[in-house]
Amino acid sequence: MNLVFLGPPGAGKGTIAALAKDYYQIPHISTGDLFRSNIKNETELGKQVKSILASGGLVPDEVTIAMVRNRLEEKDAARGFILDGFPRTIPQADALEGMAKLDAVVNFVLADEEIIKRLSGRRICKSTGRTYHVVFNPPKKEGIDDETGEPLIQRDDDKPEAIKHRLEVYAASTEPLIDYYRKKGLIVDLDASKSPEEVMRQLASLVKA
């Protein structure tokens, strides 16, 4: 099963992918997580993209496409994948066509007001990437990761100016992909405003394992 999760920042793609990877038994490949892990490990790629991520802009297509191509060649992706955050531009979608045949493109639909609430309340554990929300999914102890006991942080790109920029970038560069994939008959629309469990139930009924 080869799936793409498409949708605005903060729509819950990463949250649902964490449930869907077990349900479909396929790896969750998030380009945002791959970039953040390179930044944390201070690789050349990490140094190159650090300020782009902090501002909420897009990493150049050729860099992102090469990274995804390498990742899809790893053994675990042979049985399928959930691509979360890729493609994000038409050139990336064209490049993906040459890498794999998709079964569905899941379009997470959520209003801007809800996106802003979700992103401004998101907190993450820097070492594991585990995601929380101060209201919708709080940790057991305020500000502390449930498993590692480390303090939770706010992503640089979840600050108000970067959120605004990410929404503009999404509208200009990524939203056109909805039409691109609808014309190919691949789009599955998901109402992302419900609880994570409900969104996962919707997905399972629309995209059969």
Query: Residue written as tokens 């399972």?
Result: 204
| Residue numbers annotated as active site | 13, 88, 122, 155, 166
190 binds ligand AP5 (CB under 6 A): no
Q: What SS3 state is found at 75?
A: helix
Binding mask 160-189 for ligand AP5 (x = CB under 6 A): ------x-----------------------
Please, what is the minimum distance in Å from the beta carbon of residue 151 to ligand AP5? 16
DSSP codes joined into one string, 124-170: E-TTT--EEETTTB--SSTTB-TTT-PBPB--GGGSHHHHHHHHHHI
Stretch that binds ligand AP5, among 37-45, 95-103, 133-141, 178-186 (CB under 6 A): 133-141
Type of residue found at 202: Q
Q: Rounded to an integer, what distance in angstroms lies between the CA atom of residue 93 and that of residue 87?
A: 5
Site residues (vs ligand AP5, CB under 6 A):
7, 9-15, 30-32, 35, 52-53, 56-59, 64, 85-86, 88, 92, 118, 121-122, 131-133, 136-137, 157, 166, 195-196, 199
